[in-house]
Amino acid sequence: MAKSAFLKSSIAKKYWMALTGLFLCLFLTGHLLGNLQLLIPDNALHFNQYALFMTTNPAVKILSYLTYISILFHAIDGILLTIQNKKARPVGYAKTDGSSSSMASRNMAVLGTIILVFIVTHMANFWAVMHFDKKMPLQSVTIENMGQKMELYVTTDTGKFFPKDSIQMMQNGLEIRNRTEFYNKQANLKMGEGYKDLYKITIAFFKDPKMGLIATILYVLAMFALSFHLLHGFQSAFQSLGINNKFTPAIKKFGTAFAIIVPLLFAIIPIYIHFLLK
Amino acid sequence: MSAAKNINITLKIWRQKDSKAKGNLETYTLNNVSTASSFLEMLDQLNEQLVNERKEPIAFDHDCREGICGMCSLYINGRAHGPDTGITTCQLHMRMFNDGDTIYVEPWRSRAFPVIKDLVVDRSAFDRIQQAGGFVSVNTSGNTIDANAIPIPKDDADKAFEAAACIGCGACVATCKNGSAMLFVGAKVSQYALLPQGKVEATQRVLNMVRQMDEEGFGNCTNTGACEIECPKGISLENIARMNREYLKASLK
Ligand code: HEM
Ligand code: SF4
Ligand code: FES
């Protein structure tokens, strides 16, 4: 009996909400540290290296699958709980006084749904492009050689570059295979590996003359929703897991700081790109 | 304290003929209510007026009228047991209201607490949760052991006593946006889990009580904390956390 109850009972559902929610907080921290590299003025290298690492490293692969599963499980469980909770009060009150609980705590499902819509569009805009788009550009740099400007593809070997100009590529017998690999056609030999230029995609996305401002505003609004979700959610997860003791005041303080700082730093990035980046 | 005076009020009260009928809010005016009277005395006064007008008096629950039995209920102006904290409806006084006020009076709203008539709801779901495990099995065949024979650490005894202060009124369910009974069940689980006599049956108790709670159709706790604030006995959210720990321990056994 105990085993089946461990998925279905009210309390067990809350353990899963809490565990997946806290895991997603870890994910947010990692994701934020990556995104902040967009702000480093280094010709995109840090950020694109990070993007490559995130799509190829095996440990990251495992973590990313855990993240997908957590988001799905958290969202489905959260919606199931919310439906049950609505059913628990079929007839509502004519008059209610909200003073005994916080706004955020009463609207976790609405806030979560906003976050879910954000995650889906966010993945369509960046994750899907990075993973599947055949036209994803490779990172290049412009150098000046005796008054002549040249575009060169950057590769994972520092100091190794390939010309971007397609005629020059042909003259050197080079071609790009599998979106990122530079091959010597005749020898069928891999000469180097380029970086997908996620940096360029991101900057273009938020600087787009038509949609850039709207994208920035929606991004910031989603971060507000995330902030409120976490303002209640972070400390709530500990209570769900049965942790309510002398550390609780510290957990609450940390949770509040986390809920404000993390979404704020996320939001600063598109604001910086849209309004300040030259 | 300022001297008692008389006030005139308007009441919007839920009337419902029986459990099947569709109820509605009725408006009543009541004059010359002493601010020294209790809320339930005010309802008695209204009922007297209704009887004199040859109308059906309003049904509401009450028994001890001193905050110990847990029988009175009432959702008053959007709050369980009305304005003021740490009190039951029977301990609420009319000095909390002003002349000319409109006061909403509604029954507890929960799928697990169906309305029987007017403001009276059926709280036997709580009884069934208690029967599922809210007890210790003691042989009472004439040589019952003195409960105080086992020494108990003061801290545990205090916490168990605080949890045992729950009078089963259901305000926690009524006020929770999810109609969750976890404060009540948390208090009942804790009151035994903290004591040596209760530890013997702790595993089965928490599993059975939570299963019964879920079967009765109460909602799930979202940790909004509204129950703790509206509870007349100040039952702490720590008791829900303790229940969650007990449940985890029991499930892993
Ligand atoms: C990065 C994204 C997210 C993070 C970091 C996050 C984090 C959390 C945390 C820590 C909790 C508290 C768990 C508890 O009280 O035990 C929570 C609760 C909740 N989350 Fe999320 N969440 C995220 C996304 C979502 C999404 C996409 C949904 C979709 C519907 C959602 C819906 C909910 C709901 C309904 C609750 C309240 C559940 C309850 O207490 O019964 N969340 N979240
Ligand atoms: S926990 Fe408080 S509000 Fe809930 S039933 Fe017990 S005394 Fe009433
Ligand atoms: S009538 Fe007994 S507690 Fe109010």
Residues of B in contact with A99 (CB under 8 A): 79
Nearest residue, CB atoms, B214 vs list A10, A85, A96 = A10
- Range from A160-169, A246-255, B83-92, B173-182 carrying the lowest mean pLDDT: A160-169
* Average pLDDT of chain A to the nearest whole number: 91
**What is the CATH classification number for the domain harbouring B41?**
3.10.20.30
pLDDT of residue B117: 98
Residue B1 lies in a domain: no
Q: Is B178 on the interface with A (CB under 8 A)?
A: yes
Q: Please, are residues B157 and B163 in contact by the beta-carbon 8 Å criterion?
A: no
Show Cβ contacts of residue B219 under 8 Å, excluding neighbours closer than 6 positions: A84, A85, A87, A88, A89, B176, B178, B179, B180
Contacts of A90 in chain B (CB under 8 A): 111
Distance from CA of B45 to the nearest CA of A (A): 23
> Residue B174: inside a domain, yes or no?
yes
Task: Out of B84, B116, B148, pick the residue that ends a domain.
Answer: B116
Q: How far apart are CA A183 and CA A188, in angstroms?
A: 6
If asked whether residues B137 and B229 sit together in one domain, one would say yes
Tokens of A238: 């500990």
Provide the CATH number for the domain around residue B166: 1.10.1060.10
Domain shared by B215 and B100, yes or no:
no
The ligand placed nearest to the CA atom of residue B176 is 2
Mean pLDDT value across residues B41-67:
98
Reference A107, options B77, A266, A115; nearest CA is A115
Which chain B residue has its CA at the smallest distance from A101's CA? B226
Minimal CA–CA distance to B66: which of B210, B194, B232, B197? B232
| Percent of the residues in chain A that have a pLDDT greater than 70, as a whole number | 97
Q: Do residues B30 and B103 both lie within one domain?
A: yes
Q: Let me know whether B165 and B141 are in one domain.
A: yes
Cβ neighbours around A110 below 10 Å, total: 14
Lowest mean pLDDT among A160-169, B90-99, B158-167: A160-169
Number of independent structural domains in chain B? 2
Are B15 and B95 in a shared domain?
A: yes
What's the CA-to-centroid distance between B146 and ligand 2, angstroms? 28
Q: What is the pLDDT of residues B10-35, one digit of tens each?
A: 999 999 999 999 999 999 999 999 99
φ, ψ at B15 (rounded to 5°): -115, 135
Do B157 and B186 fall into the same domain?
Answer: yes
To test the ligand 2 pocket, which listed residue (B183, B189, B190) has its Cβ within 8 A of the most ligand atoms? Answer: B183
What's the fold here for domain A2-136+206-276?
3 helical TM bundles of succinate and fumarate reductases (1.20.1300)
- Nearest CA owner, ligand 3 atom 3: B67
Clarify whether residues B100 and B178 are in a common domain: no
Provide the pLDDT confidence category of residue B126 given band limits of 50, 70 and 90.
very high
Q: Pairing relation of β-strands B120-121 and A148-154?
A: unpaired
A97, A238, A248: best mutation site toward chain B, by most B Cβ within 10 Å?
Answer: A97
Q: Is B90 in the pocket of ligand 3 (CB under 6 A)?
A: yes
Chain B CB contacts of A255 below 8 Å: none
Closest CA to B60 of B9, B116, B102: B116
Average pLDDT over residues B213-234: 97
The reply to whether B104 and B132 lie within a common domain is no
Beta bridge partners of residue A164, listed in sequence order? none
Q: B208 phi and psi, to 5 degrees?
A: -70, -40
Q: Are residues B76 and B134 in the same domain?
A: no
B144 CB-near residues (< 8 Å, 6+ apart): B138
Please list the residue range(s) of chain A that carry CATH number 1.20.1300.10.
2-136+206-276
- What's the B244 CA to ligand 2 centre distance in angstroms? 18
On whether the CB atoms of residues B194 and B117 are closer than 8 A, the answer is no
Q: How confident is the model at residue B2 (pLDDT cuts 50, 70, 90)?
A: low
CA distance A74 to chain B (A): 14
What residues 83-122 of chain B have any CB closer than 8 A to a CB of chain A? 104, 106, 109-112
pTM above 0.90, yes or no: yes
Whether residue B130 sits in one domain with residue B246: yes
Model confidence at B85, in pLDDT bands (50, 70, 90)? very high
Are residues B66 and B88 both part of a single domain?
A: yes
Q: Which domain holds residue B79?
A: 6-116
Among A264-278, B113-127, B136-150, name the one with the lowest average pLDDT: B136-150
From the CA of B187, how far away is ligand 2's center (Å)? 8
Domain boundary among B82, B116, B150: B116
Q: With CB atoms and an 8 Å threshold, state whether A106 touches B177.
A: yes
pLDDT of A246 higher than 80: yes
Q: Does B198 touch chain A (CB under 8 A)?
A: no
B88-120 burial: b if 16+ Cβ within 10 Å, else e: bbbbbbbbbbeeeeebbbbbbbbbbbbbbbbbb
B198 within a domain of the structure (yes/no)? yes
Decide: A224 and A263 in contact? Cβ < 8 Å.
Answer: yes
More confident residue, B146 or A12: A12
How large is the ipTM? Answer: 0.92
CB of B166 within 6 A of ligand 3: the answer is no
Give the ligand whose atoms come closest to the C-alpha of residue B181: 2
Supply the pLDDT for residue A1: 43
**Single residue among B65, B98, B116 that ends a domain in this structure:** B116
Same domain, residue pair B127 and B86? no
The residue with greater pLDDT, A225 or A61, is: A225
* Confidence band, pLDDT 50/70/90 cuts, at residue B1: low
Q: Which residue has the higher pLDDT, B135 or A45?
A: B135
> What is the Cα–Cα distance from B237 to B234, expressed in whole angstroms?
9
Atom from ligand 2 closest to the CA of residue B80: 3
Give the model's pLDDT for residue A27. 96
- Output the six-digit token pair for A132: 């599947």
Number of helical (H) and strand (E) elements in chain B, helices listed first: 9, 7
Q: Is B184 domain-assigned?
A: yes
Of B180, B213, B223, the CB nearest to A236: B223
**Mean pLDDT across chain B:** 96
Of the candidates A90, A106, A92, the one whose C-alpha atom is nearest the C-alpha of residue A236 is A106
Residues A123-149 have pLDDT tens digits of 999 998 888 888 888 888 888 878 888
DSSP string, chain A: -HHHHHHHSHHHHHHHHHHHHHHHHHHHHHHHHHHGGGGS-STTHHHHHHHHHHHH-HHHHHHHHHHHHHHHHHHHHHHHHHHHHHHT-SS--SS--GGGS-HHHH-HHHHHHHHHHHHHHHIIIIIHHHHH-TTPPBPEEEEEETTEEEEEEEBSSTT-EEE--HHHHHHTTEEEETTTEEEETTTTEEEEEBPB-HHHHHHHHHH-TTTHHHHHHHHHHHHHHHHHHHHHHHHHHHHHTT--STTHHHHHHHHHHHHHHHHHHHHHHHHIIIII--
Q: In what order do the strands lie in the sheet with A189-193?
A: A174-177, A181-184, A189-193
